[in-house]
Amino acid sequence: MSPKRQQLVVMHCDIVEFSRLTSEDEDATFHAVREGFTRVAMLVSEHGGEVINTAGDSLLAVFPTALAAAHTALGLQQYFALANRKLPETKRLRARIGIHQGAVVVEGDQAFGNDVNIAARLQEAAPPAGICISKSVRDAIDENMEFKFSSIGLRALRHIAEPVSAFLLLSGHEVLMSDRENAREIRPRLLVLPFTASIRDPALVDLGEALTVDLIGALSRFRQLFVFAPHTALSHKAYEHDQRFAGQQLNARFVVDAALRRHHGELRLVINLIEMPQGHYLWSEHYELKEQTLASTQDVITRQIVTTLVGNIEHRAGLTPNFSPASLDYDTIIRARHLVYRMRTPADIAQARDLFEKLCETHFTFAFAYSGLALSHLVQFLMGWASHPSETLKQAAHAAQVALELDPSDSTAHAVFGVTQIWQRNHDRAMNHLNRAVELNPNDADVIAARALGLIFRGKPLSACVELESALEANPFAPAWYFWCLAISCYNSRQYRNTIDALQCIAVLNRFHRRLLAASYAQLGHTSKAAHERDQVMAEVPAYSVKDTRDSQPYEHLADLNPFIEGLVAAGFPVPGQNHP
């Protein structure tokens, strides 16, 4: 009697560099892989599949549909990316995944057939953290336009008679064609560490942060550099001013390290350019600054530093300059911007807003003053720190419009105005401005994350996840609203466990985060945890009802909001006309 064959979709998963990871830290690798495969088993079950077996660093599962397998694979790569965030590059766990559909024989903890072998070989063709699928799988899920594919052509697979037409199912996490090594030469990664100053001199510490943000802003205009965002630079505790640790943790090729000191009544700025991983000093310079004239000389100093830094980097990395530093026109407005980028407390933003308002009065024709004011209002709104959110959003839009009238090439103003248009339900207009912001400054993690927000409310959560991965790479110590966006993207992709993981990256949860957390727990059937989060929200805003969320969420299509509403109802949030816990 011949074995019974079933038409199934096969997913084969394998851990990248498992032998190396095990030899370097056997216990940590064992626990990480076990935890990862436990998550896989949950994801497989939630999408109607079945884990056939696991063997060391590999896992085999089958699904009834290609769509279920694709969602599981994307969820798994998303999980590993979240888990890897706090690990150095050499310790990160990545998986290769192959997916194929065909006739399969399943007996106990074994699966047999040529189509099982094809899935395993497709896994070998996937890049680290990538998903490689056959054409039959791609065709089966092509009707869902959210998915992004990249053809890698006909592949001659090991021990498979006929070549297989293969595609990458893009998640934003994959490492393509040794890009990490090529990127070191093509687009060097540059980290500007916070300018150090004595903690006994708070004014000098603030000035150091202002100069740090100023320098990053200037350097980010050079498109041939990958410059980490100001939020990352100002994460003091993350680095503890350890150049070598910072460079290794973020895989930066160049590190800028500087110190501010008071010296005989003047300020001395010492700045160094260091190449990693050896820690070689490529350039060092010091500047004597008079504090009373700093406002007028800061821009000149920044230009001098940027010109010299970029010249050294271009020479070292073999780059060709394509940007004129003469166009760097910065004002003392940068002193206020560092408070926005630091984003530690509501008081920071309130102080920044007051400074920007004064600057707008004295520099009423300068676009940066208004775009900075718009950004401060928007941060208040996105972080949940605004007393009157709708009014704060209007103020952000107005300031951004003024900035754009003064300077149509202000990327921050385009991004802020684009986000305000999301809540005005002008989604086409929003995306036009958000796309323009990224075109103007592709190094700005904030504008990339803002575009992801626009994609979320257009009903494209998978595309938003890809954008957010880019933003988090440029800004590994990102503000809370990045993770809020990522959590929404995960939730709208039905990846509820990843939603919880993303929200747990936020140090202090507010009511908006907790609503999403409660809905996620409810979707997973964790009723007690959902009730706990719900009760905390209701203690803060007793008058809240599910209708408030339905009325306030700016989705282009109401159907994209329904899963969140369902989760809130399942968590027991009050619905008008119904009794609630």
Asked if the structure places residue 283 within a domain, the reply is yes
Do 194 and 306 reside in the same domain of the chain? Answer: yes
Do 66 and 29 reside in the same domain of the chain? Answer: yes
Instruction: Among 279, 302, 330, give the residue marking a domain's end.
Output: 330
Do 94 and 164 reside in the same domain of the chain? Answer: yes
Do 36 and 151 reside in the same domain of the chain? Answer: yes
Asked if the structure places residue 54 within a domain, the reply is yes
Asked if the structure places residue 509 within a domain, the reply is no
Do 159 and 11 reside in the same domain of the chain? Answer: yes
Do 53 and 149 reside in the same domain of the chain? Answer: yes
- What integer pLDDT is reported at residue 332 of this predicted model? 46
Instruction: Among 305, 330, 355, give the residue marking a domain's end.
Output: 330
Do 21 and 159 reside in the same domain of the chain? Answer: yes
Which two structure tokens, joined as six digits, stand for 558?
A: 């109401």
The full 3-state SS of 223-259, as one line of letters, equals CCCEECCHHHHCCHHHHCCCHHHHHHHHCCCEEEEEE
Asked if the structure places residue 10 within a domain, the reply is yes
50-55 and 58-63 as β-strands: parallel, antiparallel, unpaired? antiparallel
Which two structure tokens, joined as six digits, stand for 546?
A: 């599910």
- What integer pLDDT is reported at residue 296 of this predicted model? 52
What CA–CA distance (Å, rounded) separates 70 from 280? Answer: 45
Do 24 and 73 reside in the same domain of the chain? Answer: yes
Which CATH number characterizes residue 200's domain? 3.40.50.10070
Instruction: Among 177, 208, 223, give the residue marking a domain's end.
Output: 177
What CA–CA distance (Å, rounded) separates 361 from 480? Answer: 31
Per-residue pLDDT of the chain (581 residues; tens, 9 = 90+): 566 788 899 999 999 988 888 888 888 888 888 998 899 899 999 899 999 988 888 999 999 999 999 999 999 999 998 888 777 777 888 999 999 998 888 887 788 888 888 999 999 999 999 999 999 999 998 766 678 888 988 888 887 878 888 999 988 788 765 444 443 445 678 888 877 777 677 777 777 777 787 778 777 766 667 888 766 766 644 444 555 556 666 777 788 888 888 777 677 888 888 887 777 777 777 777 766 555 555 566 666 676 666 656 655 555 444 433 333 333 445 557 667 766 667 888 888 888 888 888 877 777 878 988 998 998 888 877 888 988 999 999 999 999 999 989 888 899 999 999 999 999 999 999 999 998 888 778 888 999 999 999 999 998 899 889 888 887 777 888 899 999 999 999 999 999 999 999 998 898 999 999 999 999 999 999 999 999 999 999 999 999 999 998 999 999 999 999 999 999 999 998 665 54
What CA–CA distance (Å, rounded) separates 315 from 150? Answer: 35
Do 37 and 96 reside in the same domain of the chain? Answer: yes
Do 32 and 166 reside in the same domain of the chain? Answer: yes
Straight-line distance from the first to the last Cα atom of the chain, in angstroms, rounded to the nearest whole number: 59
- What integer pLDDT is reported at residue 395 of this predicted model? 94
- What integer pLDDT is reported at residue 199 of this predicted model? 67
Number of domains in the chain: 2
Do 12 and 154 reside in the same domain of the chain? Answer: yes
- What integer pLDDT is reported at residue 496 of this predicted model? 95
- What integer pLDDT is reported at residue 171 of this predicted model? 84
Which two structure tokens, joined as six digits, stand for 542?
A: 């007793």
Asked if the structure places residue 280 within a domain, the reply is yes
Asked if the structure places residue 125 within a domain, the reply is yes
Domain enclosing residue 166, as ranges: 6-177
Do 19 and 107 reside in the same domain of the chain? Answer: yes
Asked if the structure places residue 511 within a domain, the reply is no
Asked if the structure places residue 399 within a domain, the reply is no
Which CATH number characterizes residue 103's domain? 3.30.70.1230
